[in-house]
Structures are given as C-alpha cells and as structure tokens.
Structure 1
Amino acid sequence: MNEEEFYVRFSKQYLYDKHENQYLDCSSVVAIDAEANDLAIRLSSQITFSKNILAFAGTFVELHQLPATVRHAFVVANSADGTEDASKDCVLQAVENLKKEGIHFSCFLIEPFLFMDEVGFLQYPQGLLKTITSSLLKDTKCLTIVDESRTGLGRLGTGMWAFTDIGILPDLVVVGVILGNGFPLSAVLTSRQIAAAVPKYYSTV
C-alpha cells in the first residue's frame, strides 16, 4: 500500500445501515488499533477543519488512583440510581456550554461499551449516545467515530457490530487487531468522500 492510494474501495461490498442501504464501502488498513484511531481522527479533522475531539475518558481503575483534589470538568449524574435522563442532560449541557464558547468538534469518538481493563464493561444509560450524536449533528459537522476494537466482528453475540445495538450510524468505524487473528492488522471503515480527505498517508502495514 503506497502513500498515494492508502484506502481500498470495495466492489459491491458494503456495510449496511438499519434500512439495508449501502453504507460504508472504503477500508484503510493499518497495523494496530491506536494507529487506526489516529487515522480516523485525522480524517475527521480534514473534513471538519477542527482538531477538537469529544470523548469519554478514564475507567474506574484509572480514576480511583487520582487524588481527591482532582475533579471532573463536568460531573455526570449516576445512571445506576435510575437518573438516566439526568445523565443525558448533564452531557448535553456540557456540550452546549463548549459550543457557546466557540468550541466545535471534529468528531465524537466512542466505544459502544465502556471496557474497564480486564474486569468487565459498563453500559451507557439507555439512548445516551444516540441523543448526543443527534444533538451534535443538528447544527455542526461533527463526525461520529465508533471504536469496535473490542466489540466488533460479532463479539457481543447480537450482530456483527455493536453500534447497531445502540442505534447510531457512525461516519467511521475502527476495527482493532482482532481483525488479523493474531497478526497486527487493524482498519478504518468509512465512505469514499471521507476516505479521500487525506490525500497521502504512510501506513506501517
């Protein structure tokens, strides 16, 4: 794969959306999922002319080690107490506050489920991700990147991709090293329009 042609367009092969419409049809192959995420973010920045990224960060294993003086910039309600609507409101209000400050996002980077190292995973409040993506798309060019490194290729047992379970339609999908069945092989799946946004890219594969 050379710098001039770093993505491959499938011939009559697509990912399909929930209405069975032909969807993502381009793949860029890289070595590891970190490189795939980096490429997805770079593509988003080229499309939106922004370098700001919206994402959920940190797991319990990481956060419990922080000193008590460290606080989240935006406190999200505990959905385990049945306050799922409050969780959505907290996140949406934080996004609106940032937009009022003139901060626009290139992408919303998410995992369909929050994995906590080797101890399990957490589900988002019902409809949270769909609500956020809908809000961002209303008046911005923010793209949605779904990292399926740990959830894709049927790992959850409900379908090929986890993003179909949470009801969102991403602009880019990252597939991690599970793609190579032991070999370092990852990929970014997207549309031809987005794939062509970066004219040159050096892949380590």
Structure 2
Amino acid sequence: MVCQRIDNALEQDAFTARFNDTSVMMQARHQFSTPSDNWCQVHFADSEIKVLRASKQYIYDDLGNEFLDCVSSSAHVGHCHPHVVAAGHAQMLKLWTTQGFLNDTYSQYMKKLMDILPESLSVVYLVNSGSEATDLALRLGRLYTKRHDVAVFESSYHGNISSLVDISSKSFKRLPQGKKDFVHVIPLPRTRNNIENDQAEFCNEAQKVIQKASQNGTPVGVFISEIVVAAAGVVIPPPNYFKTVYQMVRSQGGICIADEVQTGLGRLGGDFWAFQGYGVVPDILAFGKSQGNGFPMAAVVTTREIADSLPEYMSTYGGNPLACAIGKAVLEVIINEKLMYSAKMVGKFLLEGLRGLMSKHPTIGDVRGMGLCIGMEVVCGRPDMKPATNFANRVLYL
C-alpha cells in the first residue's frame, strides 16, 4: 500500500487538498508556535489532519478517514497497544510520579532492560526524552575523559538542548556562529560503489579528523554518532567501519557514544540495537522515543567506571513507576509478538517494493535502509542526483 501511494504521488503533477477545514486550529498553531517549528513545517503545514484517535499502525481523523501512520516514530509497538495501555492504567491507579523509593515496578523493568543489554553496560539512568539522554551521555563522556572536544558526523542531529545543538551539524550550520572549535566533523560514511574501497576511504577520512584534533592539542574526548545515521537520510556505514573508528577514538583516550534514540529496540530488525549488527559495544548508549511507545521516557546506559565520574544526578520524573510500567510492557510486546522479526521481514518487503519503483521513476535517486528504518531519496533526475527538495516535501503529504 505504501509503495502504491508513492507510485501514484510521483505520477501526479499537482497535489490537491483532501482534508477537512481546520482553520481554527491552524490559526491557533500559527499564533502560539514559532516559525522555526520544524515539526509542523515538515509534516503538517500543507495537509492538516485533525486526529481524533489512533490504533495499531493507523490514525483516524474527525471524519472517520483512516491513514497509515508513517510519521509517529515513537509509536513503536503500535498506537494504543492494549497491553501497554493496561499496564499504564493499572500503575496509575496505584502510584505515578513518586520516585527515589523502593518499588517493584522499577526493579522489574531494570531486570528486563538488563536482559537485552551487553554485560559491560551495567548502569542505567532513566530520563524523560532523547535530548535529555544524549545530553547526559555527553556530560558523562566529558567528565570521564576530562576533555571537551567532540567528534560527530556531517549532517548529524542529537537533540534540541543547547549542548546538543552545538554538536549537531544539521543544527549549528543554520546558526550565525556556525561550528564551534571544539566540534570535529567526520564525513558521512555513505557507501557509493565498492563497499571495501569506500570503507577504507571513510576510515581514512575519520582518522584524518581525529589525528588533526590531537595534533592541534585538542584531542577528541567523545565520538557520538547514530549507528545507522537516520538524521542524515538513513545512511548505512560499511560493515567494519565502526570497529575501526571506535578503535581509533579509544586508542587516543576517547570514548564512544551510540545514539540509538531513533534506531534502538529492534527497529532495524533482527537485533535490539543497531550497534550489535556492527560487532561493537559503545562506552555509553543513549536511547528513547520508542522506549515508552509515545510516553515520555528515555535512558542512558554505561559502564560502572564511567558512571563513577558523575558526582550526582537527579531526575524528578525519570524512572517513575508509571514510566517503568509502560517501558516494561513495551519490551514484553516486542519479545512476545516477535516484532523484531516482523520489522526485518516487512522492512525487506517495503525496501524491495520501493526499489522496484526506481526503474519507473527517475525522481527516485536511491532507496536504502534496514528493517523499518528506510529512506527514499527524491532527486531532479539521475544521474545528476540534484536534490528535489520541494517535490520531496510534496511526497510527504501522500
């Protein structure tokens, strides 16, 4: 169905409005939100939907129209999953926000979380959002290494807190001050032709960046990256890339952070974590978004040695019983319903379907991804591959 909708959209010369009048709500949105509200700009500026309810992979408007939801990436096990809803409801009837005391829900969730993590990652901080998680991960890395400098990928995005805007090249390149001196940008390891040749080239590029920082007297303390770089358009690095780059960073005293806010908990199919597919274990792991199936929760997991570098940490809501009950239910659904296998097989089918459209539509420059993390590149035509930004925005509103 997704491939058919995209096929139809690419053949249209113009898009027509198909949604009911939501002028009052739109007026309020424009009155109370800012021009930089990218979420509204990207997803809802041209095709407003007044969402009334949601179930599984669908959302429904106030007229009863059903839409396949390809936007809400946090609804990891489906909207309003009955097991998750029941777990949250039962916990709300007993205890919600109090944290810091002993409670069984926290202990039970920690046990389930530890079961899906590498043994070395043994200390967990529960927080409220992906941005909060990556900010804490960055703080831990800097405290442990006693270094301020950070290496990131080109076109990276790690959150909207000031500390993360500074290290997110997708964000700081739009700011007047641009890149700060303590940030070192590594070219994206996007495979083009020959995987082995590309891998050697990308590793050399990363090594140049890391060595230059050391030679300038500002060695990299933290390398933070997505493993599959979703923020840059679903870029999949070559198989041995992270083994090599992690070793480079660690050999000169730095540590490696994996940002799995968008790719963790089985979204890529087959494994719980993207880093498992690359045969590496990060020093610090940050994840969220899908963790609470829409309920605000996230986590940072690290080694005991790194955790001991943080004098104290307190989060009013992080790890509260309601969050733990919901997080535990989400893990149970992923495991009991074999959703990682489903993501792998459905993703394979979708990937093949979208790639099948490439021969018909020269405006599709590339289709890439793993599991249910898939990107389609919309271009003016092949082989020039010039981005067709306006057309891509129109395709979003299928």
Contact 1:48 1:106 (C-alpha < 8 Å) held by counterparts: yes
- C-alpha distance in 2 between matches for 1:38 and 1:26: 16
Q: CA deviation at 1:194?
A: 1.7
Listed one character per residue, the Cα deviations across residues 94-135 of structure 1 (whole Å, up to 9, x for unaligned) are 211221111222211010111147xx5111133222211111
1:109-120 matched pairs, under 5 angstroms: 109-116=224-231
- C-alpha distance in 1 between matches for 2:265 and 2:136: 20
Contact 2:210 2:220 (C-alpha < 8 Å) held by counterparts: no
Match of 2:278, SS? Answer: coil
Q: CA deviation at 1:192?
A: 2.0
Match of 1:25 in 2: 122
Is the aligned partner of 1:152 residue 2:264? yes
- C-alpha distance in 1 between matches for 2:276 and 2:136: 23
- C-alpha distance in 2 between matches for 1:48 and 1:150: 26
Contact 2:116 2:272 (C-alpha < 8 Å) held by counterparts: no
RMSD: 2.9
- C-alpha distance in 2 between matches for 1:33 and 1:154: 17
- C-alpha distance in 2 between matches for 1:74 and 1:48: 20
Instruction: Give the counterpart letter for 2:245 in structure 1.
Output: I
Match of 2:204 in 1: 89
Contact 1:88 1:131 (C-alpha < 8 Å) held by counterparts: yes
- C-alpha distance in 1 between matches for 2:147 and 2:153: 18
Question: CA 1:11 to 1:197, structure 2 compared with 1: closer, same or farther past 3 Å?
Answer: farther
Is the aligned partner of 1:47 residue 2:144? yes
Is the aligned partner of 1:128 residue 2:241? yes
- C-alpha distance in 1 between matches for 2:286 and 2:130: 7
Instruction: Give the counterpart letter for 1:166 in structure 2.
Output: Y
Match of 2:302 in 1: 190
Is the aligned partner of 1:200 residue 2:297? no
- C-alpha distance in 2 between matches for 1:77 and 1:132: 11
Instruction: Give the counterpart letter for 1:101 in structure 2.
Output: N
Identity in percent: 28
Contact 1:148 1:175 (C-alpha < 8 Å) held by counterparts: yes
Contact 1:30 1:186 (C-alpha < 8 Å) held by counterparts: yes
- C-alpha distance in 1 between matches for 2:150 and 2:141: 9
Aligned length: 185
**TM-score of the aligned structures, taking structure 1 as reference length:** 0.78
- C-alpha distance in 2 between matches for 1:183 and 1:41: 23
Greater percentage in helix: 2
Contact 1:15 1:23 (C-alpha < 8 Å) held by counterparts: no
Listed one character per residue, the Cα deviations across residues 70-113 of structure 1 (whole Å, up to 9, x for unaligned) are 9x977678630334122221221221122111122221101011
Which is further off, 146-155 or 87-96? 87-96
Contact 1:31 1:177 (C-alpha < 8 Å) held by counterparts: no
Question: CA 1:11 to 1:151, structure 2 compared with 1: closer, same or farther past 3 Å?
Answer: closer
- C-alpha distance in 1 between matches for 2:267 and 2:201: 30
Match of 1:5 in 2: none
Contact 1:46 1:197 (C-alpha < 8 Å) held by counterparts: yes
Contact 1:76 1:90 (C-alpha < 8 Å) held by counterparts: no
- C-alpha distance in 1 between matches for 2:290 and 2:278: 21
Contact 2:257 2:284 (C-alpha < 8 Å) held by counterparts: yes
Q: CA deviation at 1:199?
A: 1.7
- C-alpha distance in 2 between matches for 1:204 and 1:129: 35
Question: CA 1:76 to 1:36, structure 2 compared with 1: closer, same or farther past 3 Å?
Answer: closer
Q: CA deviation at 1:141?
A: 2.3
Contact 1:112 1:147 (C-alpha < 8 Å) held by counterparts: yes
Determine which structure has greater relative contact order: mean sequence separation of CA pairs < 8 Å that are 6+ residues apart, divided by chain length. 1
Question: CA 1:31 to 1:74, structure 2 compared with 1: closer, same or farther past 3 Å?
Answer: closer
The gaps in structure 1 that reach 5 residues or longer are 3-7
Contact 2:153 2:188 (C-alpha < 8 Å) held by counterparts: no
Which entry has the higher C-alpha Rg, 1 or 2?
A: 2
Match of 1:146, SS? Answer: strand
